[in-house]
Chain A
Amino acid sequence: MKIRTVALNTFKEAIRDRVLYLLLFFSAVCIILARLLSILTVGDRIKIIKDVGLASISLFGALMAILMGTGLVFKEIDKKTIYTLLSKPIHRFQFLLGKFFGLVLTLLIMIALMSVIFLALLFFHTFHIEWRILLPICFVFMELCLITSVALLFSCFSTPILSSLFSLSFYIIGHLSWGLETLIKKIPSINMRAVFKALYTFLPDLENFNFKTEIVHNLPIPPDIYLYSVLYGIAYTGFVLVLAMLVFRRRDFI
């Protein structure tokens, strides 16, 4: 109940933040830009629209998650609103979870809006609503939840600029995981390979949430991937949130 209170409050704060609408505006622009780009191509126009549209939703969603997430806790500490809040009967972890779910709710709405614009554009072109395209968007949302939790974690102890850099690094590392896998094959020593394999397994693999290519090219997706991806997302997000709770527990607010 208390988590819900903080979550709704965070949602109110985010919804009233102008930065959010700026990003939404730009994402809409990009999605519509897809229409223009498709004119330049020879061949399948729809594919370009789908690709650009999905990429925009993914990119701007990530930007929203990072930009808003890194301010979540930092702003409360910096502006000292956290003093009054923690003087009330609320656990620190309830505060964190409330912040997290508030932002997740905001992102859900934003993604939904972007999807509507995207689907409308596609309908405009194909006179057909392809519901399948919502699948990669759902997984993009899952990815955004994970990124939000990471941004929240960094927000607990770092300034927004540094937190944004760290979160962005997390995002980039997450998408380059396959590169590490390739590198590991070339390491001669077995022991070193084991060490790096452990590191590789620990580092996030955000490609597990990436189904854009498959949907655009109508490739088959093995069904158990859905379940495992979702579980992976939940487990990793849980891990990061618990880490944030640990960091935040005994923090002195000077």
Chain B
Amino acid sequence: MNAALKIESLHKSFKTGFIPKKKTILKGISLSVNAGEIFGYLGPNGAGKTTTIKCILGLIFPDEGFIEVLGYPFLSLKAKEKLGFLPENPYFYDYLSASEFLDFYARLFGIKRTERQTKTRNLLRLVGLEKAAHIPLRKFSRGMLQRIGFSQALINDPDIVLLDEPLSGLDPIGRKEIRDIIVRLKEEGKTVFLSSHILQDIEMICDRVAILVEGEIINQGKITELISEKILFTEIIVSGIKPDDLAVLGGNVSTQGDRTLLKIHDEDRVESIFKLIQSSGGKIHSLIPRTQTLEDIFVGMVKKT
């Protein structure tokens, strides 16, 4: 299977400050993204995620390393023909209206006039902005800008889409909408490479991830492989039992109103506690086994370095 994106041994450093001091951002990144998958690029702020994406796009020139996009050398125009990109905190030409904006980018791909008009219309409808077609971008809200950004990334019907923090700053509804769009992209056969530090979303939609900490990839692979199915602890919410009795059951207890939350680490004891509560006449409101999340792994790995 052809890799949609291949990076090998990418190094990048900058000289900053009045007396130039060399600061290494990327210390030898290697990763591979398969065609048709959603790949998550994780890392804390300042790890080098955006720098990596800029290297792929040719906005920054690497010190050394090898990058290939859809089989083409990364700087070639052919690579860019089938690539879509949405930057973090997108800011676009505010003097253009939404349709003028999309039309401009469409022209850069050499798309003919009639086709441009159709594409523009469709994309605006896809992201729910068809009513705002003639409003200048300077009047767009944050969420609207994010959506028009998405449409420009898709104007050329790309094979691979690079998204830099696509969910940052959005409200829960916005996040859901974007997540849905990304999943739909995968269904259309596109490859999605997205960077984020919001782990819950990554966990929900990504197939594979790479974790970047201080310029180095400390782990990469399928999410299912990274996260074990082991149950860490179980949370039970009960009512109708006196707290003293609950203390006997063991585990951590916290009470709010008439409800009590029990946190039981030992998996074996869950069943016995369950029976005990029932016999005492208590009511169980919920029982949730908590498995290891991406966040747990992430925090653990970051702490290690």
Contact = CB atoms under 8 A, between A and B. Distances in A.
Interface of A: 1-2, 5, 9, 12-13, 16-17, 79-91, 250, 252-254
B interface: dominant SS: mixed
Interface in B49-78: 54, 57-61, 77-78
B81 to A, nearest CB: 5
Most B CB contacts (10 A, CB to CB) among A12, A17, A254 go to: A254
A84 B87 contact: yes
A86 B58 contact: yes
B109 to A, nearest CB: 7
A253 B54 contact: yes
Contact of B104 (A9, A80, A82): A9
Given A2-B108, A5-B107, A90-B108, A81 B91 contact: yes
Given A90-B108, A252-B59, A254-B14, A80 B80 contact: no
Contacts of B233: none
Interface string B96-108: 1000100011011
Nearest to B89: A80
B210 interface: no
Contacts of A253: 54, 59-60
A13 B101 CA distance: 12
A83 B104 contact: no
Contacts of B92: 81, 84
B175 to A, nearest CB: 22
Contacts of B87: 80, 83-84
A37 B105 CA distance: 50
Given A84-B105, A88-B156, 7 more contacts: A9-B96, A13-B95, A79-B91, A83-B59, A87-B57, A87-B80, A87-B84
B55 to A, nearest CB: 10
B91 A80 contact: yes
A144 B81 CA distance: 36
B269 to A, nearest CB: 54
Nearest to A14: B95
B107 A12 contact: no
Question: Interface SS of chain A: helix, strand, loop or mixed?
Answer: loop
Contacts, number: 73
B62 to A, nearest CB: 10
B149 to A, nearest CB: 8
A6 to B, nearest CB: 8
B110 interface: yes
A5 B96 CA distance: 14
Contacts of B169: none
B240 interface: no
B274 interface: no
A89 B85 contact: no
Contacts of B100: 12
A12 B96 contact: yes
8 contacts: A9-B104, A79-B91, A83-B54, A83-B85, A84-B152, A90-B108, A253-B54, A254-B14
Nearest to A82: B59
Given A5-B108, A252-B14, A254-B14, A86 B61 contact: no
A86 B59 contact: yes
A1 B162 CA distance: 26
Contacts of B282: none
Nearest to A95: B108
The 4 residue pairs across chains A and B that have the minimum distance between CB atoms: A87-B85, A89-B80, A89-B77, A5-B107
Contacts of B90: 84
Contact of B61 (A5, A83, A250): A250
Given A84-B90, A250-B61, A254-B14, A89 B109 contact: yes
